[in-house]
Structure 1
Amino acid sequence: MPFTWLVLILLAIATIGFILGRRRALNSAGGDRRELHSLPVYYGANVAMWAIVPAATVLIIWMLAQPFFVNSRVLATLPDAMVSEGSSIGLVMSDVRRVADGLDVAVQLGAMSRAEAASISTETSDVRERLGEVGVALGSAVSPEVLSGAQRYRTLNAAGSLLMTVLVLLIALGGAAYAYSKSTANFRARNNVERGILALLIAAASVAILTTIGILFALLFNTIEFFKLYPAADFFFGTNWAPSFSGRGGSSDLGVLPLLWGTFYISFIALLVAVPIGLFSAIYLSEYAGPKVRSVAKPLIEILAGIPTIVYGLFALLTVGPLLVSMFGKDTLGWMQGGTAVMTAGLVMGIMLIPFVSSLSDDIINAVPQAMRDGSYGLGATKSETIRQVIIPAALPGIVGAILLAASRAIGETMIVVLGAGAAARLSLNPFDAMTTITAKIVSQLTGDADFASPEALVAFALGMTLFVLTLGLNVFALYIVRKYREQYD
């Protein structure tokens, strides 16, 4: 049964259960809702909750577990020579799924029956011709082993989907029947429903935590595999980045220091642009601008946050880069050799970060109690003195948080770096040199036919783990600053 139909049936069972549960509760009270412990809607909601929540939980778990089970069973039937190399398992399963999809499409279009799909062999030329007529080609290079695996893949998936459908529907009907039997006047339906809603809220709040844990473990396991192939000391303290994918030009140099330097250098220049402009604009909008100016200026500033980063990258490549070359290039000062440089990416990235700093700082400054302003004015302070000595210190924890958010955004930016800063990994103090960042190299290392058993591909996960740890340290530092200064105003 298609997934959409299964979901619709679950919703229908829950809806019918809601109506029947509510009706049964009213009937048990003789039609007088005052005799019920809870409102009638809670009895119906309790039946609907028992019908859909356990069934949906089993459905989600089953859909997550079935691919792993099917893949393991299919791999167990393939010859050891095909799956002995860890790097080829993904390619083998990709071929198996491609052939299985071709067989499924052929069955759906009527090119063959289910029995033919289950018994087809690579030597069956007439079936191949029928597949070609409907535009579904398995390809002449399909081996008997892959075709056998595809047939088993189809069989296991079909059996798993059927068993899942039956089990989910039985659980939904059983849950609805159980809750329906409890729908009597004395049943505490409201308490039960509220506990279910509390569990739902806890589950929703746990999603972010579980997602972070999942990302961390995905990075950690692949990083460990990388350090089994490449020395950790050479990675963390190496000053040369020169990956070699050909296998002929010697071993790769995968030192992370040039990438870290480029990442922090570009982010530093971006913050030098974004923080003063964003903070000064926030102070102006919150303390000096009138309502009309504020209603126009703030939306215009926030428009910058909605522009795609690829547009900023093109702006850096086509406008800012040539402009800087005309000012600092060979014909003038001779500092800049090309349009792609740290300064190009830093300036454009700073423009992109202005609304992050400005909008958040503006909201934080507006949250400072008006009584603190009035007290300062009452002591004879001017507006500028009040801003410097009262408002900014009171809003400092939030402002630091806004700056750290902008810094995290700058560290994780990719497209502006790719188009505006170049791809050279180097250690240089010259802001007019081309450099690159960790995020740009993560993309380049995983682009194309990457062999995930090689250090040149696994290094992307080590780079991601390094970036994760640095960002975590940045957030811990920001939390320390916020707590330190917030104590003065509690």
Structure 2
Amino acid sequence: MNSTLIIAALLLILLSLAYQIGWSKSRTISSSKQEKLHSRPVYHGALVAIWALVPALLILGLWVLLGDTATRQFIMAQLPQEIVTEGGSGLVTAIQRVRSIASGFGVAGEIQPFEQAAADALRYFTFITFMVVIAAAAGTGLLALLYARRRIRARLRARNEVETVLRIGLIACSAVAILTTLGIVASLLTEAIRFFSFINPLSFFFGTVWNPRFATVGTGGEGDYGLLPLLWGTIMVSAIAMLVAVPVGLMSAVYLSQYASKRVRDIVKPIIEVLAGIPTIVYGFFALVTVGPFLSQLGGFIGIEIRATSALTAGLVMGIMIIPFISSLSEDILQQVPRAMRDGSLGLGATQSETIRRVLLPAALPGIVGAFLLAVSRAIGETMIVVLAAGNSPVLRANPAEPISTVTVTIVNQLTGDTDFAGPQSLVAFALGLTLFAMTLLLNVAALFIVRKYREQYE
């Protein structure tokens, strides 16, 4: 049987058994002594379950952290001394071959007798250690269960203890999110500083030529790393996308919240939100094979040259992708405007369109602006659509019908292939990522500031 299934079954059995024991004992105390419990039986059951589960999880967690090291040391003890002494890639290969033989996947070439013996010993070692870990987890869980059961009294503050554990768990989850963000920023910042040791920051942030040349570091042939063509391409594509998404999304939200019947809203809104579930690579393919050629033919028909892969193609399709984002957020914001304001406006003789323009939209404007800024940050960070449809031409130009390149496209290009992260050609991706992170962070902060500063509170 799969070891994961055994562990999951053990934890489920331990959890259900502990909960039932705690719940039953608390009910027995309540009924036999006719004494009122401080906490409901459900909290006593949850408390016993937590006491039983935490030690078992700690045992399993320790094995996850230390098991691979113990297995490696055991394999090295089974290998010939000359292989262990030599070390290096030969030792790594030998350990991997033993692991593969033991797992049953097999290896290339002839299996040496010492490899087969080590694999047999490894299988036995793995089985024994797994059973010991399972027994230890089950044993510590049962001991903790019995201890928690003895603690159950009528005045035991089980609810307070359970809520404390839940609060600690929520704080831990929040800390994970915060630490992950800090880790991303630290990694980007560290590698970006290495990049700026090769390239002058002024040349990077204010340069107008992007032409990285993959040459030997220190020969003077690192190339030009001007950010402005990429930054302008990113802004251009995002602006086109917002010109498409903002009016369509906002008008859709107004229609669904003010004009559409409940039946129509229940049908139309899920259809619009289906666009949000389509993978971006599908949008990119759609832009490449359908929208781009169509715009090129349309431009030829009206006498304007429009390239099939251009900022216009990428921005148009990206705007379609962002429509459900703006529509859904704006509709929710419009729905939150108090109905008394609408009724008051209509009661004073205003038409429905006047009520929307002069009452609802001004009242919901801070939230709508916040939704727009969040949509802009989504557009700036988009990758697959611009990779396939923008044309990948890092040239500073104002014509949206010409190919351009964006920050995200360039990051993909610089990290594609065999990169050693030793020169500016690959390290520039981290500087670009840090720039993109700063842009989206500023937009999100601006959105939150606008929503909090200008939001009106209605009773």
TM-score, normalised relative to structure 2: 0.82
SS in 1 for 2:197: helix
Partner of 1:437: 406
Partner of 2:57: 56
The structure-2 alpha-carbon separation of the partners of 1:205 and 1:290, relative to structure 1 and needing over 3 Å to count, comes to: same
Task: Choose 479-488 or 316-325, whichever is displaced more.
Answer: 479-488
Find out whether 1:309 has 2:290 as its counterpart: no
Instruction: Report deviation, 1:473.
Output: 0.7
The answer on whether the counterparts of 1:10 and 1:172 sit within 8 Å (CA) in structure 2 is no
Find out whether 1:288 has 2:259 as its counterpart: yes
Partner of 2:144: 175
Partner of 2:39: 38
Once superposed, what is the RMSD of the aligned Cα atoms? 4.1
Within-5 A mapping of 1:470-489: 470-487=439-456
Instruction: Report deviation, 1:425.
Output: 1.0
Find out whether 1:367 has 2:336 as its counterpart: yes
Question: Could you tell me which of 229, 240, 259 is aligned with 2:230?
Answer: 259
C-alpha distance in structure 1 between counterparts of 2:230 and 2:145, whole Å: 58
Question: Could you tell me which of 387, 390, 408 is aligned with 2:356?
Answer: 387
Instruction: Report deviation, 1:381.
Output: 2.2
The answer on whether the counterparts of 2:72 and 2:95 sit within 8 Å (CA) in structure 1 is no
Task: Choose 428-437 or 234-243, whichever is displaced more.
Answer: 234-243
Instruction: Report deviation, 1:69.
Output: 11
C-alpha distance in structure 1 between counterparts of 2:24 and 2:263, whole Å: 57
C-alpha distance in structure 2 between counterparts of 1:12 and 1:380, whole Å: 67
Task: Choose 156-165 or 318-327, whichever is displaced more.
Answer: 156-165
The one-letter amino acid of 2:204's match is: F
SS in 2 for 1:478: helix
The structure-2 alpha-carbon separation of the partners of 1:390 and 1:28, relative to structure 1 and needing over 3 Å to count, comes to: closer
Task: Choose 35-44 or 232-241, whichever is displaced more.
Answer: 35-44
Question: Could you tell me which of 333, 351, 369 is aligned with 2:303?
Answer: 333
The one-letter amino acid of 1:5's match is: I
The structure-2 alpha-carbon separation of the partners of 1:458 and 1:180, relative to structure 1 and needing over 3 Å to count, comes to: farther
The answer on whether the counterparts of 2:208 and 2:227 sit within 8 Å (CA) in structure 1 is yes
Find out whether 1:127 has 2:112 as its counterpart: yes
Instruction: Report deviation, 1:350.
Output: 0.9
C-alpha distance in structure 2 between counterparts of 1:215 and 1:54, whole Å: 32
Unmatched 5+ stretches in structure 1: 83-91, 113-121, 132-147
Within-5 A mapping of 1:80-95: none
C-alpha distance in structure 2 between counterparts of 1:444 and 1:71, whole Å: 38
C-alpha distance in structure 2 between counterparts of 1:130 and 1:167, whole Å: 31
**TM-superposition CA deviations, 1:49-80 (whole Å, max 9, x none):** 012134435644764687799999x9xx9999
Task: Choose 368-377 or 266-275, whichever is displaced more.
Answer: 368-377
Partner of 2:98: 103
Instruction: Report deviation, 1:276.
Output: 0.9
**TM-superposition CA deviations, 1:293-327 (whole Å, max 9, x none):** 43433333222222222221122111211122123
Task: Choose 311-320 or 480-489, whichever is displaced more.
Answer: 480-489
Partner of 2:247: 276
The answer on whether the counterparts of 2:222 and 2:424 sit within 8 Å (CA) in structure 1 is no
Within-5 A mapping of 1:392-471: 392-471=361-440
TM-score, normalised relative to structure 1: 0.78
C-alpha distance in structure 1 between counterparts of 2:128 and 2:423, whole Å: 37
The answer on whether the counterparts of 1:243 and 1:456 sit within 8 Å (CA) in structure 2 is yes
**TM-superposition CA deviations, 1:255-311 (whole Å, max 9, x none):** 222211111110000000110111122222222233444343333322222222222
Partner of 1:118: none
The answer on whether the counterparts of 1:394 and 1:489 sit within 8 Å (CA) in structure 2 is no
C-alpha distance in structure 2 between counterparts of 1:270 and 1:183, whole Å: 61
C-alpha distance in structure 2 between counterparts of 1:327 and 1:287, whole Å: 36
Equivalent pairs: percent with the same residue? 49
The one-letter amino acid of 1:296's match is: I
The structure-2 alpha-carbon separation of the partners of 1:186 and 1:218, relative to structure 1 and needing over 3 Å to count, comes to: same
Partner of 1:134: none
The one-letter amino acid of 2:244's match is: V
The one-letter amino acid of 2:112's match is: V
The answer on whether the counterparts of 1:328 and 1:335 sit within 8 Å (CA) in structure 2 is yes
Within-5 A mapping of 1:205-220: 205-220=174-189
SS in 1 for 2:455: helix
Find out whether 1:14 has 2:28 as its counterpart: no
The structure-2 alpha-carbon separation of the partners of 1:171 and 1:256, relative to structure 1 and needing over 3 Å to count, comes to: farther
The structure-2 alpha-carbon separation of the partners of 1:40 and 1:389, relative to structure 1 and needing over 3 Å to count, comes to: closer
The answer on whether the counterparts of 2:15 and 2:49 sit within 8 Å (CA) in structure 1 is yes
Find out whether 1:323 has 2:294 as its counterpart: yes
Instruction: Report deviation, 1:81.
Output: 11
Find out whether 1:196 has 2:165 as its counterpart: yes
The answer on whether the counterparts of 1:321 and 1:344 sit within 8 Å (CA) in structure 2 is yes
Instruction: Report deviation, 1:429.
Output: 0.5
C-alpha distance in structure 2 between counterparts of 1:356 and 1:215, whole Å: 26
